Structure 1
Amino acid sequence: MLKPVYQADVVIVGAGVAGLAAAHRLTSAGVSTTVLEAAHGVGGRMSTEKVDGFRLDRVGQLLSTSYPELGLTPGLDALVLRPFAPGVLVHSGGRHRRAGALPMAGGARGALNAVRALAGAPRSGSGTAGVRAVRPRAAGSPAPLGGAVDQARLNAALARMAATPVERLLARPESTAGRALAARGMPARTVEGFLRPLLAALLCDPELGMSSRAADLALRAFASGRLCLPEGGAEMLPELLAQALPSGTVHTGVRATSISTTSVTTAEHGEFRCRAVLLATDAHAAAELLPGLRVPEFHPVTVVHHTMDEPPPTGASLLLDADRDGPVAHTAVVSLVDPSRAPAGRPLVSSTVLGAPPEDVDGAVRAHLTRLYGTSTTRWETLAVHHTARAVPVMRPPHDVRRPVRLLAGLYVCGDHRDTGTVQGALHSGHRAASAVLADLGTAPTMLADPLPTAA
């Protein structure tokens, strides 16, 4: 009998960042790869709408300059990261306080020295600036995020976490993030005033019900680098990945209807023969093609975009809400972080609502932004309201942040639902899946790319 003629060694179903990252590693290893995408563009949830010269992200997930996969994924060498101002601004009790702006030069030792100094103990080496209030504290008002010792202890904990290897974090006993923080002696005022709003911004779970391991990874990334946005919008990451693949690798508008270990059948273009299939769609689409595949719950996210004559006076900072007295979890003047997202002279404010949005979402968001920014929003122009019902996977414990990507020889799956619900998790799952495919096909893994450039 004649051997079948393979149209590609590997067919990847789904052109999100996980599938595209896997495609880069496979093609770099000399494995012929075809990527099939049902939509008419790549990127999945990492998409950006263009409105009157504005670039408006639909989900607006935050990145970190410390995400390893951004520098290790072939094809992302042209991606530029635009960092927020150091740390974050936290709105609490009608005031803004700078938090988490931890200088890393002194490392854990510098942060620990700050604790010793505040406690009256001798110090060695350099110290740390710690959490500080943007405006002086009025006499008799509560200390921001606790007292000075609490602040220094928080910085010491972040510095230690930044220096802890990932595998050691993953070996810790698992519970919910809220229980773990309390068990480690974090004061309630520190959790409520900083850690809860920060983890809500990073993992879209304001109730701190996520796995403590996922929370630790997110806090480690925060402490190790700077929160940032991709220049040009979220779509730039998948677009750059797709453009850097060999011509003819990615096919959009092709919907897979069934898969096996040696073929993918499509609605429009018949059957694609191959030696292995990698399923890189979102979790629900993956379960439709592979009944029985576990589908996690998802956090819904709504992003509201406004423009105005003058930007609010918060600069390029990420502003978090610690009072939880309105729908907005975090907001920023993103045009000051990444000027390419807005026309000159027209500031862009993007605000994120977690969970089910209120009925009059724009009105409720405007009212909340008035309190958060301390300025009137009545003349602000609404550019878009993007609601994504399945935006970020829920990661309740027990949660395996390294879920298997190899289902059986010839059939693999990847995506943020197999790792952590972040861009880092999606890219890392694609890396793991590609490595499994290469091992099964008997092909050596490829060399890693150079580190990613970061905008000043």
Structure 2
Amino acid sequence: MPEPAHHADVVIVGAGVSGLSAAHQLNRAGVTTVILEAAPYVGGRMSTEKVDGFRLDRIGQLLSTSYPELRHTPGLDALALRPFAPGLLVHSEGQHHRTAEFLGSQSPRRARGALHAARALASAPRVPRPVRTAARTPLRTSRPPARSTPLGSALDQARLGAALARLAATPVRRLLARPELPAARALSARGLPARTIEGFLRPLLSALLCDPDLTTSSRCADLALHAFARGRLCLPEGGADVLPELLAAALPPGTVRTGVRVTAVAANRVTTAEHGELTCRGVLLATDARAAAELLPGLRVPSFHPVTVVHHAAPEPPLAEPALLLDADRRGPVAHTAVVSHVDPTRAPAGRFLVSSTVLGPPPDDLDRTVLAHLAELYGTPTDRWEPLAVHHTREAVPAMPPPHDLRRPVRLLSGLYVCGDHRDTSTVQGALHSGRRAAHAVLTDLGITPTHTEARLPTAA
């Protein structure tokens, strides 16, 4: 009997960024694909809600201009990245501290020179200052301006700069060969001062990994710091959903089919709830980890980090710059916050200001009150006139990556059946895109096709 005609060479279940990335790699190689998505939109957790002209990301995932998959993935030529101001703004002991403003551009040699100069300054004899007899100036009660020096001494900052410069220059394969510990233990074992770890590295890694306790594998933490040291933190212009929508729009018409719920999968067919059965030569599961395990019992479901994003409209901007503000004291629920409309003006109507704040871990019961009180402390300004826009709580927002963590979990289950997503790589947009490319390469290898990828450079918005 003749074999039935296939609806497509490969059926992809899930229209998140990993599935869309895989579809582009397959289509470039001449493999026809169909993407089935149960939701009415693409992007999965990378979605944006529109409220009164504001664009509100459900999970405030930070991107980096150094992510290689943003250049390797076809379909992202039109993506513009809006960078934060260089360095970071850290709130500690009631003050703002400017940190890491130039660390990303330091070479290891320049960082070593700064370290030697700081050591010489620290060991130089101090000249006592003359005592002034004039009347003292009354103390000011207003918040002092942001300092030009980061937390810690000049020597501490030089050591941090040298460490990040070395990390930026280290090949990824060597980072992945390092001994693996929980990130908090690994940082302490590297000889960095506790003030530097608690005042800078912990809040930074909390923002990058959504893991305030730093239980994440030290290898994953090193990759996050490697990306930070080599690039700039940024947001996609227009909202997080712009990235998956660009990927979907660049695929052949009819490739993505939303509102289709898959109930069963096999190596050569997919069964849907209301649209019958599709036959194919291979099936790629590109859903989140829990949905993938429901379709293929036996797949491991990791634990997750919950994330809550609170959006407010402020009558006046609490900061004058597009800075990412981190909380080093951990005296309130907000881990990091930003005037997002300064970073990307398209996310707020003209004349209005969007402040987005991220709460890591289980949110407090009185979320609205405690968040506003904490934001008033972080920004040093009253927040009683701020208008709440939305609260997005995602209980299973980011897959946890405790050690030992396999950064390259297998994407090929058997010939004709594959799986991808941020739960197979690192729990970042970079990891999701990369796992999609790995899965597409596995499919192409089984089909006897040599995979390729593009090296086109991604434009950055001014």
TM-score of the pair, normalised by structure 1? 0.95
Aligned equivalent of 1:162: 168
| Displacement after TM superposition at 1:106 (Å) | 4.2
Which residue type is aligned with residue 69 of structure 1? E
* 1:127 equivalent in structure 2: none
> Which amino acid in structure 2 is aligned with residue 322 of structure 1?
A
State the distance in 2 between where 1:188 and 1:440 align: 50
Determine whether 1:120 maps to 2:126: no
Q: Does 1:322 align with 2:328?
A: yes
d(CA) in 2 for partners of 1:272 and 1:3?
A: 14
Q: CA deviation at 1:216?
A: 0.3
SS of equivalent residue, structure 2 residue 120: coil
**How many Å apart are 1:120 and its aligned residue?**
2.5
Counterpart in the other structure of 2:64: 64
1:146, distance to aligned residue in structure 2 (A): 2.2
Q: What is the CA-CA distance between 1:4 and the residue it aligns to?
A: 2.3
Matched, 1:345 2:351: yes
Deviations 1:190-227 (A, max 9, x none): 11000000000000001011000000000000000000
Q: Answer yes or no: is the 8 Å Cα contact 1:314–1:373 preserved in 2.
A: no
Shift of 1:136: 5.1
Q: 1:327-406 alignment to 2 at 5 Å?
A: 327-406=333-412
Question: 2:124 maps to which residue?
Answer: none
1:340-365: CA deviations, max 9, x gaps?
Answer: 00001000000000011011211110
Kindly provide the CA deviation profile for residues 361-382 of structure 1, in whole angstroms up to 9, marking residues without a partner as x: 1111000000000000000000
1:128 equivalent in structure 2 = none
Q: Is the 8 A contact 1:176 1:210 kept in 2?
A: yes
- Give the whole-Å Cα distance in 1 for the aligned partners of 2:416 and 2:62: 34
SS at match of 1:229: strand
Letter of the 1:21 partner, please give it.
S
Q: Counterparts of 1:279-290 in structure 2 under 5 Å?
A: 279-290=285-296
Q: Describe the shift of the 1:104–1:175 C-alpha distance in structure 2 as closer, same or farther (beyond 3 A).
A: closer
Mapped partners of 1:233, 1:146: distance in 2: 35
Q: Secondary structure at the match of 2:2?
A: coil
Instruction: Tell me the residue number matched to 2:418.
Output: 412
What is residue 49 of structure 2 aligned with on the other side? Answer: 49
CA shift, 1:444, in A, is 1.5
Aligned partner of 1:172 in structure 2 is 178
Q: CA RMSD in A?
A: 1.4
Q: Give the match for residue 238 of structure 1.
A: 244
Residues 394-418 of structure 1, C-alpha deviation per residue, up to 9 Å, x if partnerless? Answer: 1100001111101111110000000
| Alpha-carbon distance between aligned partners in 1 of 2:208 and 2:349, rounded to the nearest angstrom | 28
1:221 corresponds in structure 2 to 227
1:102, CA displacement in angstroms? 2.3
Residue 255 of structure 2 corresponds to residue 249 of structure 1 = yes
Asked if 1:146 corresponds to 2:115, the answer is no
Q: Deviations over 1:37-67 (max 9, x none)?
A: 0111100000000000000000110000000
Residue 314 of structure 1: CA displacement?
4.7
**In 2 relative to 1, CA 105–47 (structure 1 residues): closer, same or farther, beyond 3 Å?**
closer
SS of the residue aligned with 1:146? coil
The one-character-per-residue Cα deviations of 1:292-327 (angstroms, maximum 9, x if unpaired) are 100001111010000121100251000000000000
- Note the C-alpha offset of 1:174: 0.3
In structure 2, the CA distance between the partners of 1:136 and 1:282, relative to structure 1 (3 Å rule), is: closer
2:87 corresponding residue in structure 1: 87
Taking the TM superposition and a 5 Å limit, the aligned residue runs for 1:20-39 are 20-39=20-39
3-state SS of 2:326 partner: strand
> Matches of residues 242-321 of structure 1 in structure 2 within 5 Å?
242-321=248-327
TM-fit CA distance, 1:268: 1.0
CA distance in 1, matches of 2:453, 2:317: 44
Compute the displacement of 1:446 (Å).
2.6
CA contact (8 A) 2:105 2:229 kept: no
2:103/2:161 contact within 8 Å kept = no
Amino acid at match of 1:437: V
| Change in 2 beyond 3 A, CA 1:135/1:255 | closer
Which runs of 5 or more structure 1 residues have no equivalent in the other structure? 122-132, 138-142
Q: Is the 8 A contact 2:409 2:424 kept in 1?
A: yes
Alpha-carbon distance in 2 for matches of 1:76, 1:144: 35
Asked if the contact 2:180/2:403 (under 8 Å) is kept, the reply is yes
4+ aligned runs moved over 6 Å, structure 1: none
Aligned equivalents of 2:414, 2:11: Cα separation in 1: 15
Matches of 1:158 and 1:146 in 2, distance apart?
A: 16
Question: In structure 2, what residue type is equivalent to 1:249?
Answer: T
The match for 1:140 is none
Distance 1:293 1:395 in 2: 16
Q: Which amino acid is 2:218 matched to?
A: S
Q: Work out whether residues 98 and 146 of structure 2, in 8 Å CA contact, stay in contact via their aligned partners in 1.
A: no
Check conservation: 1:74, 1:449, Cα contact below 8 A.
Answer: no
Asked whether the equivalents of residues 73 and 453 of structure 2 are also in contact (C-alpha less than 8 Å), the reply is no
2:18 alignment counterpart: 18
Amino acid across the alignment from 2:82: R
Question: Whole-Å Cα distance in 2 between the matches of residues 447 and 197 of structure 1?
Answer: 35
Letter in 1 for 2:312: H
Q: Give, in whole Å, the separation in 1 of the partners of 2:82 and 2:172.
A: 25
- Corresponding residue pairs, total: 440
Q: Distance in 2 between matches of 1:260 and 1:328?
A: 44
Secondary structure, aligned partner of 1:120? helix
| CA-CA distance at 1:443 after TM superposition | 1.1
Report the counterpart of residue 98 of structure 2 in structure 1.
98
Q: Matches of 2:97 and 2:187 in 1, distance apart? A: 21
- The 1-side partners of 2:32 and 2:54 are apart by 38
3-state SS of 1:119 partner: helix
Per the alignment, residue 4 of structure 1 pairs with: 4
Aligned mates of 2:276, 2:246 — CA distance in 1:
28
Which one has the largest radius of gyration? 2
Which has the larger displacement, 349-358 or 443-452? Answer: 443-452
Residues 1:196 and 2:202 aligned together: yes
**One-letter amino acid of the counterpart of residue 76, structure 1:** L
Cα deviation, 1:102-123, whole Å, max 9, x if unaligned, reads 25554111111100112229xx
C-alpha contact 1:98 1:134 (8 A) present in aligned 2:
no
2:192 counterpart residue number: 186
What percent of counterpart residues are identical? 72
